[in-house]
A and B are shown apart, each in its own frame.
Chain A
Amino acid sequence: MLPYAVAAWLFGIGLYGIATSRNFIHLVGCLGVCQSATYVLLLGLGYRWGSIAPIFYDHPPGTPAVDPVMQALVLTDIVVGATLTALLLVLTIQAYKRGGSLDPEKLRPMRAGSKSGRGQGSSRGKDEERTAP
């Protein structure tokens, strides 16, 4: 029961962090916390008390071992996590270079009334009307 509770708590607290975050780097960290929930859940589900790691090099075959499938899932999950974190940090750096901020509130995609929004679009529209064939 404990792994379930810890996993749910980790996911919840990570989600809370994402929901309230005002900094993209912090947000990426919170996403990592959410992902840790899946590690805990999977490892907890695959664990068997009193068993060895699923490596039979120095153990006779048939020794009780923890579930290797779950460990494979966690490994894949870690790879996914590394990819996502790297990609998100790249996007964050690029967004910071262009927007000059790490605050999600200041970097909203395409909002009415934002500085690069409507006004510019319609003034460009007028230019276009003059030059259009």
Chain B
Amino acid sequence: MTAFPAVLLPLPVAIPLVVCAAMLATAHLLPGRVPDILATLAALGVAILSAFIAAHAADGPLVYWFGGWEPRDGVHLGIGFSVDEASGWVAAFIGLLYALTFVFAWGFFGRTHGHFQILMLLFLAAMVGFCFTRDMFNLFVWFEVMSVAAFALTAYHLEESALSGAINFTVINSLAGFLMLGGIGLIYAQTGTLDFEGIAAAVARGGRDPVVAGAFCLVAAALMIKGAIVPFQFWLADAHAVAPSPVSVIFSGSMVSLGLFGLAKVSAVVFAGSDQVQHGLPVLLTALGSFTALLGGWMALLQRHLKRMLAFSTISHAGIMLTGIGALSADGTGGMLVYVVGHGLVKGALFMVAGILLATRASIDEIALRGLGRGIGPAGIAMAIAGLLLCGLPIGVLDQGTRGVQGALAQQGHGIALAAGAIGAALTGAAVLRAAGRIFLGLGPDSGDEAGAPSEDEREKANRPLWLMLAPCCALLVLDVGLPAHLIEHALPRAASAFMHRPAVDTVAEGPGWLPWMSVLAALAGAAYGLLRDRLPAFVVRSVGATQSAPTRALEALHSGLIGDYAAWLAVGVAIIVAMLALA
């Protein structure tokens, strides 16, 4: 185990880059499905290699210095990769998600000369690099590569909505990149190094320093923009709703949570020595996270466009992840890391179901699709199971992550965040279950408030066999449910401590066992209300409608789709972060 060749570390980044470059050079010569096969194999290779690296990283982080530029006398000149167990497994999960997405997108884009696969492989390389790097500026570079690939993929269809969604996405995430670069410049000016460990040591020596706090504000704001935390969440609903469904699988399954993964790493490793940051963080992160979980869940329940609904559900779950980071403990961060994987599996499956509906029923509108799902029952079952898992059914990886996050929050007395997370999960679960009931069972003739939500016509290539699209979707769900719990339980305390560079803990606290069940019950009740509204007594429906319609319309109006509004909210969000850290 000790003689691990560290030279393997860059390979999970290099493989997709090499394959994508080779494919770009030869795309016009490659016949038919070769790009699909190459891309799937490359992604599988990344997954296997990352898992291998992760298994070896169990004893301690593996480090690789590019060009042999190892630090000497505490001076870090080189750029390094440092892979701890958790980062390795997250990278392996991302590789697997890509491989399954490539299978799902088999033949999706017709004759494209492999451009889709090329962009996706670039995206994959950037994500793995983002997980592995130990250098602030390198982190920024992967962040930008990830963004540019994502912008191009969003606009892939070149339709009006896709284009304006992509422009909003591009502008807001570019601003995130500038903020991050400013933050990196400040921290470099203060500490004289870009290496995580070097900065951490210098920050710990420096004491209370406004420049360090300012740098953290900028970097954290950038990562929260990527992670779609309120009030930076606006771009996500626009981008995810209009992107092609295989791209949305990747966006929701890994890109958004990777922003928060980066935030967890940066705040636990790089800024661990700054008392000001560490005092301000719990309140800041749990408050923003709780608010995000509630708002995202509420908005999800009000949507009729399936991909937009799932996008808001992703926002809600990003909020729950943020509260996990906010606990600032190995439990919370460990729970959050498991949550990232579980959420990616379930949300990926849900976006695949949305893609199946688009391909086989040529619509993505919940109300227009009512009862049309009858011919594709297996997809309905997958959607219902995914909905139940999403709201907290206590089985599988997502539940394990939820319990970790809830345990940490309960232990630290963040009662509000705990409740907000449970309610947010219940709301998103209710939205998914309602859509499943309406589409596949034909329930819910009264469309209620969601009828006023934005929706749009969309079509995706139809001539793909159902089983080919359904297989990766089911594989994701089976992975979520079937991954042996004791393996995660065994590895988690060690991996979380290594991730946070803290001494190992023995056990991980778990939240109250009844809380997930409450979420499931609330979700079922919410879905039932939406579906059986026409059979309920009039006074119930009227009172709910009277109290809920006005705030609903206000919220929808807030998500105006105007880039100017989003930029203004971005300024507000940065101001909130600065103010909360200044008060700490």
Contacts and interface: CB of A to CB of B under 8 A. Distances in A.
Given A87-B170, A121-B455, A125-B369, A94 B158 contact: yes
Interface residues of A, number: 55
A114 B160 CA distance: 12
Contact of B159 (A21, A98, A125): A98
Given A34-B175, A108-B164, A21 B564 contact: yes
A121 B185 contact: no
A42 B375 CA distance: 59
A83 B141 CA distance: 13
Contact of A107 (B164, B363, B372, B452): B164
Interface stretch (B148-156, B280-288, B404-412): B148-156
Contact of B175 (A31, A83, A92, A114): A31
Interface residues of B, number: 65
A86 to B, nearest CB: 10
B156 to A, nearest CB: 11
Given A110-B241, A125-B363, A125-B365, A120 B188 contact: no
Interface in A103-126: 104-105, 107-112, 114, 116-118, 120-122, 124-125
Nearest to A12: B571
A117 B148 CA distance: 28
A117 B457 CA distance: 7
Main secondary structure of the interface of B (DSSP, over half): helix
A73 B181 contact: yes
B241 A109 contact: yes
B167 interface: yes
A71 to B, nearest CB: 12
Interface string B197-220: 000000000000000000000000
B191 to A, nearest CB: 12
Given A15-B571, A116-B160, A121 B562 contact: no
A37 to B, nearest CB: 7
Given A88-B171, A121-B365, A121-B457, A108 B137 contact: no
Contacts of A73: 137, 181, 184-185, 188
Interface in A36-90: 37-38, 41-42, 45-46, 69-70, 73, 76-77, 80, 83-84, 87-88
Given A45-B188, A108-B561, A122-B367, A91 B455 contact: no
Given A88-B170, A125-B369, A132-B372, A104 B563 contact: yes
A109 B164 contact: yes
A116 B456 contact: yes
A23 to B, nearest CB: 11
B562 A87 contact: no
Interface in B121-175: 137, 141, 144, 148, 151-152, 155, 158-168, 170-171, 174-175
A45 B170 CA distance: 27
B568 interface: yes
B455 A84 contact: no
A15 B242 contact: no
Contacts of A92: 167
A110 B563 contact: no
Contacts of B556: 112
A95 B152 CA distance: 14
Contact of A110 (B178, B455, B570): B455
Given A95-B164, A112-B453, A124-B368, A42 B564 contact: no
Contacts of A21: 563-564
B567 A69 contact: no
B452 A112 contact: yes
Given A88-B171, A125-B363, A7 B182 contact: yes
Given A69-B194, A125-B365, A109 B238 contact: yes
A92 B163 CA distance: 8
B177 interface: yes
B580 to A, nearest CB: 19
A128 B363 contact: yes
A65 to B, nearest CB: 15
B368 A109 contact: no
Nearest to B452: A112
A96 B480 CA distance: 43
B189 interface: yes
B308 A98 contact: no
B454 A41 contact: no
B238 A110 contact: yes
B361 interface: yes
Given A121-B363, A121-B368, A111 B184 contact: no
Nearest to A34: B178
A98 B163 contact: yes
B576 interface: no
A116 B161 contact: yes
B347 interface: no
Given A104-B564, A109-B164, A84 B375 contact: no
Contacts of A34: 174-175, 178
Contacts of A133: 375
B563 A128 contact: no
Given A38-B181, A109-B242, A110-B241, A20 B564 contact: yes
B562 A38 contact: no
B443 interface: no
Contacts of B58: none
Contacts of B158: 94, 98
B26 interface: no
A19 interface: yes
A19 B170 contact: no
Contacts of A87: 148, 151-152, 170
Given A91-B166, A117-B456, A124 B363 contact: yes
Given A70-B188, A110-B238, 12 more contacts: A11-B182, A31-B175, A70-B185, A87-B152, A91-B167, A92-B167, A99-B163, A110-B454, A111-B561, A116-B457, A117-B454, A129-B372
11 contacts: A11-B182, A15-B570, A19-B565, A21-B563, A70-B185, A87-B151, A95-B163, A104-B564, A120-B456, A124-B363, A133-B375
Interface of B: 137, 141, 144, 148, 151-152, 155, 158-168, 170-171, 174-175, 177-178, 181-182, 184-186, 188-189, 194, 238, 241-242, 305, 308, 361-363, 365, 367-369, 371-372, 375, 451-457, 556, 560-565, 567-568, 570-571
| Interchain residue pairs A-B with the least CB separation, the first 5 | A125-B368, A108-B561, A109-B165, A45-B189, A95-B163
